[in-house]
Chain A
Amino acid sequence: MTLAAADLPNDPDLVAAWRGGDEHAADLLVRRHGQALGRYLSGLGAASGEVDDLVQDTFFRAFRGLEGWRGEGSFRGWLFRIAGNLLKDRFRSGKGRIFLALDDHDIADHADPEGELVADEVGQQLVAGLAQLPRLQREVFLLRVQQGMAYDDIATTLSTTPGAARVHYHHAVKRLKEWLT
Chain B
Amino acid sequence: MDSKTISAGRIADKVNKGELKARDLIEKVLQKAQEQNNKLNIFCSIAGAEALEQASAVDQKIESGICLPLAGVPLAVKDDFMYKALPTTLGSSQFKSFNPPYNAATVEKLIAAGAVVVGKTNIDNMGIGSATLDSPQGPTLNPHEPKRVAGSAGAAALAAGICSLALESDSSGALRQGASHCGVFGLLPSAGLVSRHGLAIHSGSFCRAGVSALFPEDLPVALNVISGYDPRDAATAAFREMNNRREKTDDLSNLVIGYLEALPGSVADLRRSLFKDTLDQIAALGVGKVEVIFKHLPEALRAFQVIAAAEASSTLLRYDGIRYGQAIEADDLELLYCKTRRATLNGEALTRSIFGTYFLSKGGYELYYRQALKVWTLVRQELKAAFEQCDLLLMPVVRTEPFLASGEPVFTDLYENDLYTVPASMTGNPAVCLPAGDLDGIPVGVQLIGKRLEDVFLLSAAVKITPVITSAPQGLDGGGN
Q: Do A and B come from one complex?
A: no
